[in-house]
Amino acid sequence: MDGESEARSRRILDAIRAIPSGQVAGYGEVARRAGLPGRARLVARVLGQNDDPELPWHRVLRSDGRIAFPQGSAGYREQGRRLRAEGVRVVKGRVQGQKAAASLDEQLWGPGAG
């Protein structure tokens, strides 16, 4: 990995670490917070290569609030378990009562903000 790739990965991982317990963010929102708008797939790739057991990867969801792992897979079950342990309501693989906000403004102020 070159220096630029490492820097992007570090920014993505820092953005994930900044998601508070009990809250979620979409892949695209993580990319935006990391200063990499439009790079949701890069966020997924970085998460797929993660080996830090302390990283709160489970707080990152699809933009529609769904767990991205295939239903019934070990990752799907683990992500749901971790989210529930933080008080997040998950029903059939989708977070209820909150969503993976499109932007930080939307997360803080509601739809149409920003």
Boundaries of every domain in the chain: 3-98
pLDDT tens digits, 102-113: 555 555 555 554
| Count of helix runs (H) and strand runs (E) in the chain | 5, 4
pLDDT tens figures, 33-59: 999 999 999 999 999 999 999 999 999
**What is the four-CA torsion angle of 21, 95, 25, 87, rounded to 10 degrees?**
0
**pTM summary value:** 0.83
Q: Is the pLDDT of residue 4 over 70?
A: yes
**pLDDT given for residue 47 in this prediction:** 96
Considering only the top CATH level, what class is 3-98? Answer: mainly alpha
Instruction: State residue 114's pLDDT score.
Output: 46
Query: What's the confidence (pLDDT) of residue 106?
Result: 55
pLDDT for 1: 66
Residue 100 — very low, low, confident or very high, per pLDDT cuts 50/70/90?
Answer: low
Rounded distance, CA 46 to CA 8, Å?
Answer: 9
The reported pLDDT for the residue numbered 113 is 47
What burial letters (b/e) apply to 35-61, b meaning 16+ CB within 10 Å?
A: ebeebbebbbebbeeeeeeeebbbbbb
Asked whether residue 94 carries a pLDDT value surpassing 60, the answer given is yes
Triad 106, 112, 113: Cα angle to 5°: 50
